[in-house]
Structure 1
């Protein structure tokens, strides 16, 4: 079913995966933001780059007072080093702002038909059939809606705000938010009642109770988060910043001491050269890219349709050991579906299929619709038919035709009805039915028995409909990937142990907690955490909210209830529990990327040491020439080459910071070994090559 042209979202979905290649257009767009970040108050959050800016100011003053080619070149590239550092963060933020811009298109003023009077004026019912067809409504702008207001939304209309469906069922196009083209079903009751403002109703009519105040909708929160305005620094990021700041202080002291050491040894060094040395030795590479790495981590999650409420949650995902998943709506689709028809001896498959279809024509439950689908589609209602709706008292539904009666329902209820028509209790079909019921129950399914009475003759049992929780496609393979990462999966369900075990075998989880209450889920998470494990929880129901709040990483399904989404620290817009695989990969990417670039930055410093230190003291101590392994042209050329390389390497590594280091399942020691071999050795070799090539060019500049 297509969306009406007037309501089709035209914004490019913010969840499209963007390229990690850094383009000239991206740099140009990010440059104004980078220049604004030169404000020292902005740089207080990155002390390494603040020191570089102070150094750039100092060399500027020195170059004005005592102009020289060396002075102006060092000054220029120190300023560029600061700009490149702020540029990395600005590029990362710019990607989020581009996503936010498309999200804002969902916030256009939408007319809303608000039910007149207070929310309590809506009759307490879960079905539209019991509501007046002419509910009194007032047309108001969506921005005037408040939590508790009730609105009516029909096919072709945009839902004016976040809320819960309190009556009706409808097909909803959520592509503008999730990027998924397939419509989803939203209905009152259960865990599929939540709707998001800006999405479009494709069919039928629903009544929605608004749950958010103006400016506090889900889309508003997404915009704020992807723009980075609410991004909090994670403990790991803070700890790394403390380390970088400590190293910077150490090198400030060292370079300050070198001034007096050089003066005492007769190799007097100007403050300009010492400033260049300081900037080259402090960890400017990781200092410049640290913020960009954190922002890009959250950005990569959004591109995979996962909204993280904090950087801390993304980082914690990288260390997850245990994943707890609610069964219904998370591992399974949430509605029992007809899987097969089991006829008793003497009844053909066609006879059972016809009876199952006719008795399900008026059954609008997901189970009833699945029976119609399994048999082969709907048929016209026979003339003179009287539908018998399901009731809790009879535990049956069915169809009354002239001269023929059909019933479908729980085994004991249908058996009692059959006996009431005069059929003997010891009829051979009874044993066959009991065998089918036992088989279905032991496999974790739900049996529905079908029976038929023709005329006034005793009714007869026709067979059993096997209803089962349908496991989501591909979930077993994803769990195997999680297992390869060292993550243990635990399915949590309120079902009995037999049903839970059957679903667990089919889904491929490692462990099961059956007949679980919200308290049981909470206790399990606390036990795992007390054992030193990091726990992630996926859920979608209100009963999952306490566990989602307790877990280190709580991923709520977007199809779930408002309570679940507010309790978790992540929301999966695709409602795919195996998306945690992506979340874990990105969390590990975040940690590994920081480690890799820190290793590269420290290794860089070693190489730059060999470039500048010999050049500074070789005149006074000729024996130091042995350290000039790159055979640089002159002390001045060596200093400028090192400063230029120090600036350019930041730009070269921005794409890696945005994309993240590729994650492959491996042990911590293997990851450390790879970091040392790739980024440690690379960090040593690259400066030697880069500085030498720059020296070949810079040495030809007049005045050096």
Structure 2
């Protein structure tokens, strides 16, 4: 009998192999075919096997891999993978993410989003797991002489004056890993160098070492010196190789383990039982050619590569670390006029905090007293300080200027903008770009092919090579195993993504995942909203015009209506009314009509404020006497709302919203790059036309309801266009979700940000230019890495096999092969690090 099951959790070819192997071991299962692409397993059974038994084979109910019947899903789970986003949107800034700080993950993302509680090796590729950064560590400090002295910040001991030291280690996990590898590297060098010298002395005339003792004794010394290298300094490579073979997740360490292991075992047998080998393997003195030096030096060079990789890898997360440093450790709490310095962990919502000149703002909040200039470059990427006054919002991690002010704490801990940015950057850094799928397919066959080439190399040399045939075949077969580097392929994409996402964050461009980063480079059309996207989003009332009624009463009524709305235009009306000390009224049955306006009842009279479509909906037709005035205002690029009381138009209110200075420059640059820029706005035809003309837009569409924007984007997509949508309002959320890439203004509403895949912290179209330039730079960098990795292996493996020997007499020793292999991964990381300096 044959059954098909759904498998959740497979994110790479290693996962696919593991699931297939585990299921095949289950009793009564005769054949298994697993497909990662289809997330399914086709299982042939001699006798029916219960679903619970299959799940146990995969590691139980807590396993990463969940098996279920077709068209079903394990309870509480959503179908997703590291390469795709869920259909359900997640707020990149305001919603807590699923990857807890302090956990460990594989830098090659072999298991997608899977994390571990402890440091160790990736079970798929064998690489060292990397720790997820934590935002603020609650480190306490103590005196080495007086341990009873404990405080939350560094300083000097009040008793003896000594510098206080952290109570807990403060080294990052990358530093700890590097230090461990460096210790092992010193041991490996200490024993490998003498082995290398002993072997290379053969090249000297009248070898002076042989005058001290015979070759067979020097062979024993090499053996003894190699033991610490194999069994201590580099034993982890053999452990990883063994795991890779047992789990059939073949990787770089499989090749290293087989190559050096064969050389080491061969040398031991040759040392102890030389009589079992043919004369081809023996020296003139009757001893067998041994390869202890190849074993020791190759392993040491591989360890060197791991050491350099650990150092380089710590730099790839530099952007996250720089963001972490922005968080201050303490703040000044104000209680009843008294100031007290406290840890930021002790700040609660509603606390009043004093921020002094030059200090970092500890949490998100609002200024309650005073004003200053704030350096927000670390959040927005803009170098010019921003003026802030009472009632303005400030964000954690930004730096105060030369004045002191009081602020109300509104968001603390993980809710702050800085915390969410760090979390989003960290999550995006660990996501997978679709181009990684190509690497997965290649990696699935890479190691078996290399092993096969190694075997073929041995036999070709044995059959066709010059004497000593067996020696040539043996050495070249080992060189083939050692020079091949699947890690260079595996690291090509994730390293570039990690550095690129960090670069974007420092420039105020928050990217949700690697798929978006790849796709942004391909967009054909940018759809943009007007208010808050092309314009400042800070509209103000220019004037109110009424006919035969009291202006203050009308202003009070429409302002009372708008108190219930979060639209920027509504805020402008309320602010204007308050500045006039206008009386507000009680509103009943309030209703916000999306894309049209607002209505409600005041003193049993229906009050309407909105555009012409709202009047038509309410059956109001008598407004011809002011229509021409309204059109004249609209042609100047202003937004005009009609005012109707008891189904009679009594006037209109004019609102202006200045176009952002950067909008025209950004639009021209996008058009230069071949992107059509189209404005879809709910505003009227005249206002939209004035804005489109001023900004030289490709096209525009006015009086758009949310559904209209959605349908317009769908129509473009059916023509094969890749569409990005930029917006900031609730009415933009459906279009943002439908577009290939939704771009939200960080100054906009939560609903818009939730629906977007890129968030521009500053809320500026220049951020879209940066995002596109960054996408292009990252994809170019990834392709460079992949090209290097492919070319390296395409050239390196044949050279190691000896293809140059018939023509040039050149052979590649295993030691040179190991050096080349080690530096291949490092070269990929170093190339990715260049993204830190690219100009976007």
Report the TM-score, using the length of structure 1 for normalisation: 0.58
Question: Aligned partners of 1:246 and 1:68: how far apart in 2?
Answer: 30
The match for 2:322 among 78, 91, 99 is 99
Question: Aligned partners of 1:143 and 1:178: how far apart in 2?
Answer: 25
User: In the alignment, does 2:753 pair up with 1:560?
Assistant: no
- The 10-residue stretch of structure 1 (244-253 or 255-264) with the greater mean CA deviation from structure 2: 255-264
Match of 2:661 in 1: 473
User: In the alignment, does 2:765 pair up with 1:581?
Assistant: no
Question: Aligned partners of 2:827 and 2:790: how far apart in 1?
Answer: 16
8 Å contact from structure 1 (residues 323, 537) kept in 2: yes
Question: Aligned partners of 2:495 and 2:527: how far apart in 1?
Answer: 31
Change (3 A) 1:140 1:262: closer
Bigger proportion of residues as helix: 1
User: In the alignment, does 2:635 pair up with 1:442?
Assistant: yes
User: In the alignment, does 2:724 pair up with 1:536?
Assistant: yes
Match of 1:123 in 2: none
8 Å contact from structure 2 (residues 305, 822) kept in 1: yes
The CA deviation string for residues 651-703 of structure 1, in whole angstroms up to 9 with x for no partner, is 445332222499999xxxxxxxxxxxxxxxxxxxxxxxxxxxxxxxxxxxxxx
Change (3 A) 1:231 1:259: same
Q: Structure 1 residue 293: deviation in Å?
A: 1.5
Change (3 A) 1:57 1:304: farther
Map residues 270-281 of structure 1 onto 2, 5 A cutoff.
273-281=476-484
User: In the alignment, does 2:537 pair up with 1:334?
Assistant: yes
User: In the alignment, does 2:672 pair up with 1:484?
Assistant: yes
Match of 1:301 in 2: 504
Question: Aligned partners of 1:83 and 1:575: how far apart in 2?
Answer: 42
Q: What secondary structure, in the 3-state scheme, does the structure 1 residue paired with 2:674 have?
A: coil
User: In the alignment, does 2:701 pair up with 1:513?
Assistant: yes
User: In the alignment, does 2:834 pair up with 1:659?
Assistant: yes
Question: Aligned partners of 1:45 and 1:172: how far apart in 2?
Answer: 59
Map residues 197-346 of structure 1 onto 2, 5 A cutoff.
197=396, 210=410, 214-227=413-426, 231-265=430-464, 267-268=469-470, 273-282=476-485, 285-336=488-539
Q: Structure 1 residue 162: deviation in Å?
A: 4.4
The CA deviation string for residues 50-86 of structure 1, in whole angstroms up to 9 with x for no partner, is 4455357636744873444444433333343444455
The match for 2:374 among 173, 177, 193 is 173
Change (3 A) 1:336 1:101: closer
Change (3 A) 1:33 1:445: farther
Change (3 A) 1:646 1:197: closer
Q: Structure 1 residue 248: deviation in Å?
A: 3.2
The CA deviation string for residues 439-480 of structure 1, in whole angstroms up to 9 with x for no partner, is 5432323699xxxxxxxxxxxxxxxx9975322224323222
RMSD: 5.1
8 Å contact from structure 1 (residues 77, 643) kept in 2: yes
The CA deviation string for residues 303-346 of structure 1, in whole angstroms up to 9 with x for no partner, is 31222232222222222222222211221112357999xxxxxx
User: In the alignment, does 2:836 pair up with 1:648?
Assistant: no
Q: What secondary structure, in the 3-state scheme, does the structure 1 residue paired with 2:522 have?
A: coil
8 Å contact from structure 2 (residues 457, 801) kept in 1: no
Change (3 A) 1:159 1:650: closer
Match of 2:59 in 1: none
Change (3 A) 1:72 1:601: same
8 Å contact from structure 2 (residues 355, 361) kept in 1: no
Question: Aligned partners of 1:582 and 1:220: how far apart in 2?
Answer: 22
Question: Aligned partners of 2:796 and 2:739: how far apart in 1?
Answer: 45
The CA deviation string for residues 472-528 of structure 1, in whole angstroms up to 9 with x for no partner, is 224323222212322221223221011111111212222223222333333333443
Question: Aligned partners of 2:672 and 2:250: how far apart in 1?
Answer: 39
Q: Structure 1 residue 220: deviation in Å?
A: 1.9
Change (3 A) 1:441 1:564: closer
Q: Structure 1 residue 574: deviation in Å?
A: 2.5
Change (3 A) 1:151 1:547: farther
8 Å contact from structure 1 (residues 558, 575) kept in 2: yes
The match for 2:784 among 580, 596, 608 is 596
Question: Aligned partners of 1:153 and 1:246: how far apart in 2?
Answer: 60
Question: Aligned partners of 1:89 and 1:232: how far apart in 2?
Answer: 16
Map residues 360-439 of structure 1 onto 2, 5 A cutoff.
389=581, 439=632
Question: Aligned partners of 2:685 and 2:175: how far apart in 1?
Answer: 58
Q: What secondary structure, in the 3-state scheme, does the structure 1 residue paired with 2:458 have?
A: helix
User: In the alignment, does 2:249 pair up with 1:74?
Assistant: no
- The 10-residue stretch of structure 1 (249-258 or 299-308) with the greater mean CA deviation from structure 2: 249-258
8 Å contact from structure 1 (residues 518, 544) kept in 2: yes
Change (3 A) 1:487 1:598: same
Q: What secondary structure, in the 3-state scheme, does the structure 2 residue paired with 1:471 have?
A: coil
Q: Structure 1 residue 48: deviation in Å?
A: 4.5
8 Å contact from structure 2 (residues 744, 759) kept in 1: yes
Change (3 A) 1:536 1:184: farther
8 Å contact from structure 2 (residues 640, 654) kept in 1: yes
Change (3 A) 1:277 1:476: same
8 Å contact from structure 2 (residues 743, 756) kept in 1: yes
Change (3 A) 1:251 1:649: closer
Change (3 A) 1:591 1:470: same
Change (3 A) 1:154 1:524: farther
Question: Aligned partners of 1:652 and 1:255: how far apart in 2?
Answer: 25
Question: Aligned partners of 1:437 and 1:223: how far apart in 2?
Answer: 47
Question: Aligned partners of 1:184 and 1:390: how far apart in 2?
Answer: 29
Report the TM-score, using the length of structure 2 for normalisation: 0.50
Question: Aligned partners of 1:171 and 1:514: how far apart in 2?
Answer: 40
User: Relative contact order, CA 8 A, sep 6+: which one is greater?
Assistant: 1
Q: Structure 1 residue 551: deviation in Å?
A: 3.2
Question: Aligned partners of 1:311 and 1:536: how far apart in 2?
Answer: 16
The CA deviation string for residues 394-447 of structure 1, in whole angstroms up to 9 with x for no partner, is xxxxxxxxxxxxxxxx9xxxxxxxxxxxxxxxxxxxx9x999976543232369
Question: Aligned partners of 2:706 and 2:388: how far apart in 1?
Answer: 26
Change (3 A) 1:494 1:583: same
Change (3 A) 1:103 1:206: closer
Q: Which runs of 5+ in 2 are unaligned?
A: 1-134, 136-171, 183-235, 269-289, 544-567, 573-578, 586-608, 610-624, 642-652
Map residues 110-149 of structure 1 onto 2, 5 A cutoff.
111=333, 143=345
Change (3 A) 1:227 1:447: closer
8 Å contact from structure 1 (residues 60, 75) kept in 2: no
